[in-house]
Copies of this chain bind each other. A is one copy, B any other.
Amino acid sequence: MTKSSHPDQVPASRRVAAALRARIESGELAAGALLPSERTLAEDFDVARNTAREAVRLLTDEGLVFARHGKGVYVRETRKLMRFGSERYSQRVREETGLSPYRAEVAKQGRTARVDCTSITTVPAPGFVAERLGLAAADPVIRRENWYFADDEPVQRGVTFIPVAVAGATPLADSANLGKGSLYARFADQGYPIATIREEISARMPRHDEKERLDIPDGVPVIEVVHTGMDHEGTPFEVTVFTMRADTNGLDYTIPVQA
């Protein structure tokens, strides 16, 4: 029989996956534990085996579980520390928490996030921005500068460049509505899920203002992470440069390493 009746809002496979995820995250299914078999899940949740299988696949893709042919599906030992740049992770975080990955990470650490927008101006596109956005050099772009804090401790700086056309079409988050509605969220509202964040990483010594505002000791470099946000067609719509201390709590990315 096919599913002719009322179309559920949320697909059954995701419903099952969410239920399993909850049981894993609550600790009911601890690390190393065996998930019920696909056939059992199908019966328990009253879905076809294929649907249960699809649910398990979603969890596998998230890195929450892994399957062993002939044995079963196990909960992963160490919860994979997904990183910022992971499109899957970003998407899920935004979907579930309604927060940007930054705010979600800070919240997870039990700290309070604050984002100050210090300026929004229109500037000629710097070379690397034009290159990534597919614009001519010096085409006008909106430049927004944010400073990110966790418990009033400065964590990173973010400078976002957005083509004026895009900024015109989607209201730009400023101090008034920061955090609630990022460009990504606005795109999502319009039915354009984020497909890709391309992440490029470099490092340099901090400039004076960065050194002061991010409270960086002498001799410590900063890491620069360039995020190019692309819609699901691969068209870039935003470039953000995040700057943070190389040796300290850049939250998800950076850790101290002494070899």
Contacts and interface: CB of A to CB of B under 8 A. Distances in A.
Interface of A: 31, 61, 63, 66, 74, 76-81, 83, 85, 126-128, 159, 195-196, 198-205, 219-224, 226, 230, 232-236, 241, 246-247, 253-259
B233 A76 contact: yes
A82 B145 CA distance: 27
Given A203-B223, A234-B76, A63 B195 contact: yes
Number of copies: 2
Given A74-B233, A223-B223, A235-B77, A203 B200 contact: no
A224 B201 CA distance: 11
Contact of A63 (B196, B203, B220): B196
A51 to B, nearest CB: 13
B241 A66 contact: no
Given A205-B219, A233-B74, A254 B200 contact: yes
A236 B77 CA distance: 10
Contacts of A81: 198
B204 A246 contact: yes
17 contacts: A61-B61, A76-B234, A77-B233, A78-B230, A78-B234, A78-B236, A80-B198, A83-B85, A127-B258, A128-B256, A201-B201, A201-B253, A202-B246, A204-B246, A224-B257, A226-B255, A241-B259
